[in-house]
Amino acid sequence: MTQARTMLTRRQALLTAASGGLGLAQPLRRPNVLLMLADDLGAKDTGFQGGDIRTPHLDKLAGEGVRFSQLYSYPLCSPTRAGILTGRHPIRYGLAYSVVRPYATYGLSPAETTIAQVFKEAGYQTAITGKWHLGHFNKRLHPLSRGFDHFYGHVNGAIDYFNHTRDGGIDWQRNGRSVIEEGYATDLIAAEANRWINARDPARPFFLYVPWNAPHTPLQAPERWLREYSSIADPKRRTFAAMVSALDAATGAIMDNLRRQNLMEETVIVFLSDNGGPRGQGADNGPLRLGKASVYEGGIRVPGFIRYPAALQPGKSAQVMTPTDWLPTLAAAAGIEPKTAFPLDGVNLWPLLTSGRTEPRRDLFFCVQGETGPKQHALRDGNIKFISIAGKEAIYDVAADPGETTDILSRMPAAAENMRRRTAEWASLHPKAEIYTGSNLHPGWVPPKDWAAAAIE
């Protein structure tokens, strides 16, 4: 047995010995956790997924970690972020169908326990640098009230990358106060992450959440990256590719800092996209059907990996994983028993990831309501996926047919009935409140000039 393999085996034993192999034993030193979330990255928009956009830093990390082939997010941004942070399905607290709009007065319910609170309770330093998008009207909805010690970035989606505004108002802050800075948002997010890492208490582990706003619209990129893709004729694809490469370079800047401080082997690193890519804005989902704002695979199956050489063997995994699984899984990686206000929907997959095994998943629910269409519902059970849109139903074997080209519902009447019932049960969990909000500005709403200052107490 090689020395590296021996070290991995010893570390893995420490992490899985207690609680019947649930992965909750206390490691010798709890690892740091770095969770990075891209915005609107398509399934084939990175090199490690076989795409034509150059992403050398992400490719290196992916090659050193576990790369997922069946990793899921929800069809839109806010629902995925909510699911990751709470370990609970956003249908339960009214954030499943749409995103938090600029004029919205609601956000992620303060009653929910966040992953930042779980790690902070365990003695971790916590920070977020990037896009929040889970409520901004009230300070109780802001990151500093949700378990994060430090917040830098923006509360809305779709900000301008260069002047950092949304609807004419500055949406760029550090810990509740707006900051006026020059620079491209992606670069600034990475620089702040590094500043925070450098200023942390080195005696305590950290949980750092970096939710990039790239490559979400508006499609804007620095000239130096646009020149890299001058051969791409489609202007949207050209800019999209440049934005992804800028994100990759920003990731590389954080990794360089971790290496300088000898933290790479002590840090669990996660990367994924918050939903499938929007094809109309230049994204590439490969053979997957449709894209963002859809319950088809192109809207919910995303690129991603987890890297932690002390316990994870590099390679590909077909393990199905959803947003709600990250809280219990990362808590287990750190030897933390999460104490949350409500039971989790997510499952601790750390024992499977460390052993290289896979197990089927049951009863995984997805939903969305687009700008002009009806509510869409989907349920995955094992390899079978049921879809219901405006009364039209279909079943696909998404393991054998990830492109969802062959409807097999007629062959499975009993399964269809069962999945139809379970889908309705999931949908019924939505609180008796507004489900859908449009992206057009609400009549009479006046955007603030300063988004940080506009938040009420």
pLDDT tens per residue, range 368-410: 997 778 999 999 999 999 999 999 999 999 999 999 999 999 9
Residue with tokens 């309705």: 424
- Type of residue found at 139: K
Q: What is the pLDDT of residue 10?
A: 40
The alpha-helical segments, DSSP class H, found in 115-229 are 115-121, 185-199, 223-228
Q: Which of 282, 319, 256, 387 is nearest to 52 (CA)?
A: 282
- Type of residue found at 165: T
Report how far residue 53's alpha carbon sits from residue 322's, in angstroms, rounded to the nearest whole number.
Answer: 25
Examine the residue annotation and report whether 77 is marked as an active-site residue of this protein.
Answer: yes
Tell me which of 77, 89, 150, 164 is the catalytic residue.
77
Three-class HEC string of 279-337: HHHCCCCCCCCCCCCCCCHHHHEECEEEECCCCCCCEEECCCECHHHHHHHHHHHCCCC
Q: Which of 27, 49, 92 is nearest to 301 (CA)?
A: 49
Q: What is the pTM of this model?
A: 0.94
DSSP per-residue codes, 89-122? -GGGGT-SSS---TT----S-TTSPPHHHHHHHT
pLDDT in tens, 192-250: 999 999 999 999 999 999 999 999 999 999 999 999 999 999 999 999 999 999 999 99
Residue with tokens 């601790």: 348
Domains 3-23+30-359 and 364-427 share a fold: no
pLDDT averages per 10-residue partition of the chain, 457 residues: 40 40 56 98 98 98 98 98 98 97 96 98 98 98 98 98 98 98 98 98 98 98 98 98 98 98 98 98 98 98 98 98 98 97 98 98 96 92 98 97 98 98 98 83 91 96
Strand 392-397, strand 384-389: pairing: antiparallel
Report how far residue 375's alpha carbon sits from residue 196's, in angstroms, rounded to the nearest whole number.
Answer: 41
Q: Which two tokens stand for residue 318?
A: 């077909």
Examine the residue annotation and report whether 377 is marked as an active-site residue of this protein.
Answer: no
Torsions phi, psi for 71 (to 5 deg) = -95, 135
**pLDDT above 70: percentage of residues in the chain:** 94
- 364-427 folds as Arylsulfatase, C-terminal domain (3.30.1120)
Taking the domains of the chain in order of start, what are their residue ranges?
Answer: 3-23+30-359, 364-427
Q: What region does 290 belong to: left with phi over 0, alpha with psi -120 to 50, or beta?
A: left
Q: Which two tokens stand for residue 432?
A: 């008796």
Q: Which two tokens stand for residue 424?
A: 């309705």
Cα Dmax for the chain: 69
Q: What is the pLDDT of residue 28?
A: 57
Tell me which of 57, 89, 133, 142 is the catalytic residue.
133
Q: Which of 116, 228, 129, 115 is nearest to 173 (CA)?
A: 129
Helices (H) and strands (E) in the chain, counts: 12, 18
E-state strands within 218-287: 267-273
3-23+30-359 under CATH 3.90.1150.10, yes or no: no
